[in-house]
């Protein structure tokens, strides 16, 4: 499947006055909502959707500023607002109980949602939380040089402007365990979705999420320490950014959790090891 075929699987829904791209497998099964990572999109899940949808009604949207969703130029792109959009979308779809699966950037949206859940601010029951490859413990993360440059308010805009697909491809390949597992077509699709609808003009704004992980550290890590929701931590052993130490730390802190290791996979396990990763998610 390519990015254009993925688009045909979804629909566009207006949430808080912004157009959001959503893939919804529908049906009457348990609901799995997915919060995708940075700087990619819901397309990351094209290989695993057939596996996940055997058990779940899967709902996955492109966050504002990503993929096929709207990419406004004058917008904060705060993770707080990304959480607002996710919650409003699920409400629009009349979802009342979910399993939340979050990867990378999406894990911080998830922790904001958990903070609200802990404070009884949601009309949504979260049955289970699944966390994958997220640098919530930002102090333990091994950020790439390009991430550091993009999150900086002085260098971010310039780096976004001069970034090329060659640089992008190299950075994505470097965070795979086995770079031969990603095809040229997949890289082309990822780049197409990043650039789609003026995406490069907002990538430096999206990158501020790293700064928010420091700013809201106590709120978000505190939410995980306080939650009563059963949490599954699914972590590749060879993620060079969200390193193993982060998963170990989460395993120590979250009251009711299960840590599952995925061997020989990197930062995008749903693309690199789709069957093995899906088995752990569905375990």
Strands (E), the chain: 11-15, 18-24, 30-35, 56-61, 97-103, 125-132, 230-236, 257-262
| Residue 268 CB partners (closer than 8 Å, separation 6+) | 37, 40, 44, 133, 172, 175, 176, 182
pLDDT, one tens digit per residue, over 231-265 is 999 999 999 999 999 999 999 999 999 999 999 99
User: Cα–Cα distance between 60 and 36 in angstroms, integer?
Assistant: 8
Domain count, the chain: 1
Radius of gyration of the chain from its Cα atoms, rounded to whole angstroms: 17
User: Cα–Cα distance between 154 and 201 in angstroms, integer?
Assistant: 15
pTM of the predicted model over 0.85: yes
pLDDT, one tens digit per residue, over 120-178 is 999 999 999 999 999 999 999 887 666 666 666 666 666 667 678 998 899 899 999 99
Residue range(s) defining the domain that contains residue 112: 3-282
CATH classification at residue 239: 3.40.50.1820
């Amino acid at each position: 499947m390519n990015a254009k075929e993925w688009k045909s699987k979804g629909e566009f829904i207006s949430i808080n006055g912004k157009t959001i791209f959503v893939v919804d497998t529908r049906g009457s099964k348990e609901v799995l909502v997915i919060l995708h990572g940075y700087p990619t999109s819901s397309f990351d899940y094209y290989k695993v959707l057939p596996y996940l949808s055997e058990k779940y009604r899967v709902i996955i949207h492109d966050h504002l500023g990503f993929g096929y969703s709207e990419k406004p130029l004058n917008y904060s792109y705060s993770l707080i607002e990304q959480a607002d959009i996710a919650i409003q979308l699920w409400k629009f779809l009349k979802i009342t109980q979910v399993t939340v699966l979050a990867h990378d950037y999406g894990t911080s949206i998830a922790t904001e949602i958990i903070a609200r859940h802990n404070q009884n601010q949601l009309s949504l029951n979260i049955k289970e939380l699944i966390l994958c490859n997220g640098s919530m413990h930002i102090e333990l993360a091994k950020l790439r040089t390009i991430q550091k440059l993009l999150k900086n308010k002085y260098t971010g805009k310039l780096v976004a402007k001069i970034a090329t697909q060659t640089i992008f491809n190299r950075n994505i390949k470097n965070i795979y365990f086995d770079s031969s597992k990603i095809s040229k077509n997949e890289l082309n699709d990822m780049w197409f979705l990043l650039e789609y609808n003026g995406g490069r003009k907002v990538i430096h704004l999206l990158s501020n999420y790293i700064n928010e992980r420091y700013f809201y550290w106590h709120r978000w890590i505190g939410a995980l320490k306080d939650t009563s929701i059963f949490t599954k931590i699914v972590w590749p052993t060879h993620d060079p950014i969200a390193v193993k130490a982060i998963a170990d730390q989460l395993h120590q802190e979250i009251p009711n959790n299960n840590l599952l290791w995925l061997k020989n996979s990197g930062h995008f396990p749903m693309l690199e090891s789709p069957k093995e990763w899906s088995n752990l998610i569905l375990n």
